[in-house]
Amino acid sequence: MSWYSHFFTGLPQHAWKAAQTDEQTQLELERIVESLEFGPDDRVLDVFCGYGRHALPLAKMGADVVGVDISDESITELKTAVGRKKIALTAVAGDFMTIDPALLGEPGSFQAAYCLGNSLCFFPRHQMVLFLQRIADLLEPGGRFLAQSGMVAESFLPDFQERAWLPVGDDIQVLVHNQYDPFTACVTQHLTYYRRSKTGVDVVDRTAQYYIYTVADLLALFKEAGLEPTACFGTVEGDSYQIGDEGAWITAVKKVE
C-alpha cells in the first residue's frame, strides 16, 4: 500500500488546507486557465484534487470537472460543496494509479488535465511513466496537461535542510526531518504536527516519500508517456524556469498520432 493512501487525513489534512492562501489559489487558477485554454463545457481532469480548491472555481467558470483523490475525507468535503453549489463537478474517491479509468471517463474524453501540489513526485521512475500514461490516455489528441512540483532537483536540493520548523496558520507547527538517498533520488520526510488545543497539544506523526527528478528528467518522462512538453515555468506568473526557483510548472500536449 502506498504511503499517501493513509497520509491525508486528520491534522495533516487540516494543516495542508490551512497553508493555502486565497491569493496563492487565485494565482494558481490563473495559471491553470492560461495554460490549459479550456472552453465552456470542456472536460477537465483534476488529479489529486484534494478538497477542490481549484476544481470548484473552475467548475463555476463553466468547465465540466472530474476530480479524483485518495482521501475519503477530502472527497466527502468536496461532494458536500458540489451539492450546495449545484455545478458540473464529479468527485471520485480512489487511488489514481489503481482506480478503474472508466470511473473517470472514456479514453480520450478530456480536453485538459492538471496535477499540482508536489503530487507529481510521489512516484519512482517506472511508476511515473505509468502515471503520466494514465493521464495521456484520458486526454484527447492535442489535449493539454499542466503539472507543478516544488520537488524538482534544481529547486529542492540547493536549499536542502535536514530539519526545519514550518509554521502553519496561527496554531500549527510542523517539524520536518528530511532524509535524502542519492542512490534512489528519494526523500523520506518524517513530519510531526503540533496543534494547540483547549486540552493541551495535539501531536500527529506522518511519513511521506518524494522522488527527486531534474527538470530534464521530467521532460523526457513526459515525452515517453506521449505528452509533448511545450513550456517550463519557474513561477506561477509564467517566468521561464531558473535554478533555485520555488518549483517547476510544466505544460504539455498529448501527441497527435
Domains of the chain: 3-151+213-254 (3.40.50.150), 154-211 (2.20.25.110)
* 101-128 confidence digits (pLDDT tens): 999 999 999 999 999 988 889 999 999 9
Q: Spell 157-192 as b/e; 16+ CB within 10 A means b.
A: beeeeeeeeeebeeebbbeeebebeeeebebeeebe
According to DSSP, residue 13 is labeled: H
* 160-216 confidence digits (pLDDT tens): 999 999 999 888 999 999 999 999 999 999 999 999 888 889 999 999 999 999 999
* 133-163 confidence digits (pLDDT tens): 999 999 999 999 999 999 999 999 999 999 9
Distance CA 249, CA 241 (A): 8
Tell me the torsion sign for CA atoms 195, 50, 3, 249. negative
* 211-243 confidence digits (pLDDT tens): 999 999 999 999 999 999 999 999 999 999 999
Predicted TM-score (pTM) of the model is 0.94
User: Kindly report the CA angle at 212 between 208 and 215, in degrees rounded to 5?
Assistant: 140
The helix or strand, by DSSP H or E, that contains position 138, with its residue range, turns out to be: helix 125-138
Q: Are strands 248-254 and 89-93 parallel, antiparallel or unpaired?
A: unpaired
Distance CA 19, CA 22 (A): 10
Distance CA 20, CA 54 (A): 11
* pLDDT above 80 for 257: no
Distance CA 167, CA 171 (A): 8
Distance CA 193, CA 209 (A): 17
* 54-108 confidence digits (pLDDT tens): 999 999 999 999 999 999 999 999 999 998 888 889 999 999 999 999 999 999 9
Residue 197 C-alpha cell reads as 488545543
Kindly state the average pLDDT of the residues 21-30: 95
